[in-house]
């Protein structure tokens, strides 16, 4: 068992970008077997898995992780990884204590924020994209994007306290992720007035119906793109987009990447 210093991971580090504020973006890849014992990290971090997978074990849990998985690690939290697939690759957003203090946040709030996983993945990919094209504005942009991620708790809290129909609506939208439902159809299934959904949707979901459906579709497309089993036209149609052009525009807007750029990560 050992503790890893800041910006250090068990895999091979490809790129590191560190803002002046204490947020590091670290890209790691795993081409062969690494240490599989218990270990921890000095700093808290969020990990978005891009390729491959692993069995992640913590004190009281074990789960299989694959492309698109999103995890939060507290500082000094013990965990281990076994049965890693090669090659594997992930993005780590490492958070030093000083930036949490400056933003009046704590680790528990960040952990809760990534439960809004579709929104969190979108922002993490934008942070990663920004770190790759570093310029005068990059430090401030990454800090702002991280603040957006951290502040998404407000919508989560409203969602948790929402009427029962809101959770039913969310399940319905997740089930029909590759379709394009309209307010009238949704209201009919839920036995609601369309005006009720229209009026309250932004309050509980933090965006419009169209934006939420696009997030769901792009979130589903992440693992499809990385699998390399289908071309972009097939993925666009499978995810319910009208055509490849619409899919590409939406993907770029949601993640900062073009689909082919993301595929090459």
Segments making up each domain of the chain, as ranges: 2-116, 162-263
Q: Which residues on adjacent β-strands are paired with residue 39?
A: 2, 79
User: What stretches of 41-152 show up as alpha helix (H) in DSSP?
Assistant: 97-102, 107-113, 117-132, 138-150
Indicate if the pLDDT at residue 154 is higher than 90.
no
CATH number of 162-263: 1.10.10.60
Check if CATH label 2.60.120.10 holds for domain 2-116.
yes
Which tens digits make up the pLDDT trace of 83-128? 999 999 999 999 999 999 999 999 999 999 999 999 999 999 999 9
What pLDDT is recorded for position 160? 87
CB distance 36 to 76 below 8 Å:
no
What pLDDT is recorded for position 21? 86
CB distance 206 to 200 below 8 Å:
no
Handedness of CA 76, 134, 21, 149 (dihedral sign): negative
The Cβ-side half-sphere exposure at 68, using a 13 Å CA radius, reads: 16
Which tens digits make up the pLDDT trace of 131-143? 998 899 999 999 9
Indicate if the pLDDT at residue 155 is higher than 80.
no
Which tens digits make up the pLDDT trace of 182-221? 999 999 999 999 999 999 999 999 999 999 999 999 999 9
What pLDDT is recorded for position 115? 92
What pLDDT is recorded for position 157? 83
Q: What is the 3-state secondary structure (H, E, C) of 136-184?
A: CCHHHHHHHHHHHHHCCHHHHHHHHCCCHHHHHHHHHHHHCCCCCCCHH
Q: Which residue is it, tokens 């795993």? A: 30
pTM value is 0.93
């Amino acid at each position: 068992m050992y503790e890893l210093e800041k910006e250090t991971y068990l895999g091979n580090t490809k790129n590191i970008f560190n803002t002046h504020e204490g947020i590091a973006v670290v890209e790691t890849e795993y081409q062969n077997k690494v240490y599989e014992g218990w270990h921890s990290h000095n700093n808290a971090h969020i990990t978005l898995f891009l390729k491959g997978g692993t069995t992640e074990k913590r004190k009281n849990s074990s789960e299989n992780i694959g492309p698109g998985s999103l995890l939060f690690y507290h500082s000094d939290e013990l965990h281990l990884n076994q049965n890693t697939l090669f090659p594997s690759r992930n993005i780590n957003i490492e958070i030093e204590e000083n930036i949490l203090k400056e933003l009046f946040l704590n680790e528990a709030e960040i952990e809760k924020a990534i439960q809004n996983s579709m929104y969190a993945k979108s922002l993490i990919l934008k942070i990663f994209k920004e770190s790759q094209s570093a310029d005068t504005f990059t430090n401030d942009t990454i800090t702002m994007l991280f603040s957006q991620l951290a502040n998404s708790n407000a919508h989560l809290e409203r969602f948790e306290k929402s009427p029962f129909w809101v959770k039913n609506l969310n399940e319905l939208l997740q089930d029909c992720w590759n379709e394009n439902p309209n307010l009238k159809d949704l209201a009919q299934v839920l036995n609601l007035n369309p005006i009720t959904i229209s009026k309250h949707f932004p309050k509980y979901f933090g965006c419009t119906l169209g934006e939420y459906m696009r997030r769901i579709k792009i979130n589903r497309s992440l693992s499809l793109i990385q699998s390399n089993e289908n071309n972009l036209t097939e993925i666009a149609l499978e995810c319910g987009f009208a055509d490849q052009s619409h899919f590409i525009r939406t993907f770029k807007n949601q993640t900062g990447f073009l689909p082919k750029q993301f595929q090459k990560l």
